[in-house]
Structures are given as C-alpha cells and as structure tokens.
Structure 1
C-alpha cells in the first residue's frame, strides 16, 4: 500500500471516520457523569477534559470536510445520508446537557461560542442547500434535525453567558436603601 493509495483511502473514508469519532466522543462525555460521581473513576478526569476539548474540534473539522466535499462534488454523487450529518454535527457541537463548560473560566468564552454558532450553522445550511436530492422523507428528517441542532447548539453560548462572572455579578447585585447608601464604606484593611 503506497502513499497515494493511503491518501485515496483517507479521502474516501475521512468524513465517515470523523462522524464516528464525533459520536464516540459524545458517548464518552455522556457516560462521564458516572465518572464524576464514583470516587474510583475520578482519576479519569483527564479523559473527560480531552473529550470535552476534542468534541468541538472533531465536529468542526467534520463540518469543514463536509463543506469541502460539497464544493468539490456539485453533481450530487455523494451519499444521500450526508445531508443528515450536518445537523447531527450541530447537535454534537451543542455538547451534553449536563456539561456546557468544563471549568468556570470557560463561561467567559461565550462570545467565541456565539461566533462559532453563527459560522457553523452557516456552513451546515450551505451544505444542506447544496444537497440536490428529491427524497421527501430524508428532507423532512433533515429539517427536523436542523431545528433540533440549531436549538441545542444555541443553548451552549446562552448557558455560558448566563453563568459568566459578569452576568452572575449583575444578577446578584442588591440595591441598598438611600440611608445606607450614603454611609461610608470601610474596608477590612482599616481595622
């Protein structure tokens, strides 16, 4: 097996491998809830962290591969199921319901996730619009998955924004009555 045949094999199977890898990562994240609960399995937190980081990267890479494949094959020779992979990858980009951020610092990245949301939904919609098959059942399933994928993916930046430090600080501020607000404020260093 030469280098050219290996490259040809990768070109043919790349998208399938990436979608399967994204599914596997989502399963690891799904089952990681039990890793956090069991004291013995807490040592596998590095695996959860790697899966959390790799989940978005693999799904974005798969969407980019799907986008490039759509640009290269405009005659519709690719698989009819590829139209379903774009919304499924959007669902994967939404992540698991119970883990929107791995650490508190990740909550401050909600603007980056919003830009990722807009760009990846645009790519997925482009792939969907370039799909030229007339199968009505597959089209209906793809539209339903798109709605679910966009809503699930939009939930992630919203959850990060509402859990960000500035949002929590703004929601927990208590207004003081007039008499108390004019009183001098003392710091602990003065005592």
Structure 2
C-alpha cells in the first residue's frame, strides 16, 4: 500500500503542536510526538529535520491558520474591537498558538527563525489595522496589534494570575472578553481621534 505522505505530515504536525504547546521546545520529546502520531520517529527527521525545525513548522502552520481564521476587517473602532473579541474566542477554543509564542519568547528571545516571513506576516496585520482605522499611522497600528495580541494571549498563558486577581466565577471568560473588546475599541477610538485632530484643526 502506498504511503500517504500528506496524511503522515498532518498527523506529526498535530501531535507536535500539542507536545510543543504543553512542554515547550526544550521539554518536548520527538519519541512522544512520533508515538502520539502513530508514526516512526524517523519520519520526523525525514520530513521536518531536527526538533527545532519541527517546532518552526508547527509555529508557522499555527500562525497561518489563525491569521486566516481571524482576519482584521471592517471599518472603524467597533470593528477593531470585534476583531479583539474574535481573537479571544479563538484562543479560548484553541490556545496552542499563544503557548507556542510564549515558549518561543522564553527559549529563543528575539532569535526567531524565518524572520523575513514572520515580518511579512506581521506587516500584513498592521496593514489590515490601517485599513480598518484609516488615518492611524503605522507605529500606532503596530502598537495596537501587539496590545490586543498580548491581552488575548495572556488569557491562555496566565490563567493562575487571572484566577488570583479576578476569581473564577462562571462568567469570568465572558467578562474578560467584554473587557478586552471595550479596551480595544476605546484605544482604536482614541487613535482615530488623534489622527483626525490635525485635519479638523486645519479645516477650522
């Protein structure tokens, strides 16, 4: 029977995503990934190379998936707030990407692999914000993205701090989502106001 390469890669990426998001790069084990995927670990080296390369493949796949599933779209501050809510929902349903980015930051710092491609990915997100919030400059748009990403990722990677500060009421996730949406909307409104201020002044 012919070997299904695509299926094998998908099984390995799925198992590796779970392993890396739970254990980090240093703590993950290739043999556990292979066992979870039901595949000989030699296939990992054949398809992805060493463990670091497999981590990079997992992170790239998750970044692309989340970017596709949660685009920044619409027009105005309320739509940007909606994006923040959708990103929070995505991370509440599947927190793999926040944890992967957390581990990458702890274990690699600024030394990201495939930096050019990652930079292009981030530039697209900033471009999307500038379309939703016309007039906001690139630096402010970038700060807005990283602020929302940090708020949403923090829900996944800092559950203990959230519980200590805010408790564990049944509606806690809903309240946190609402707060993030409100924060994102207010920040977007403030930046829009600042960008329109000079134009209004000039018209006066």
- For normalisation by structure 1, the TM-score amounts to 0.32
Which structure is larger by alpha-carbon Rg, 1 or 2?
A: 1
So what's the TM-score if we normalise by structure 2?
0.31
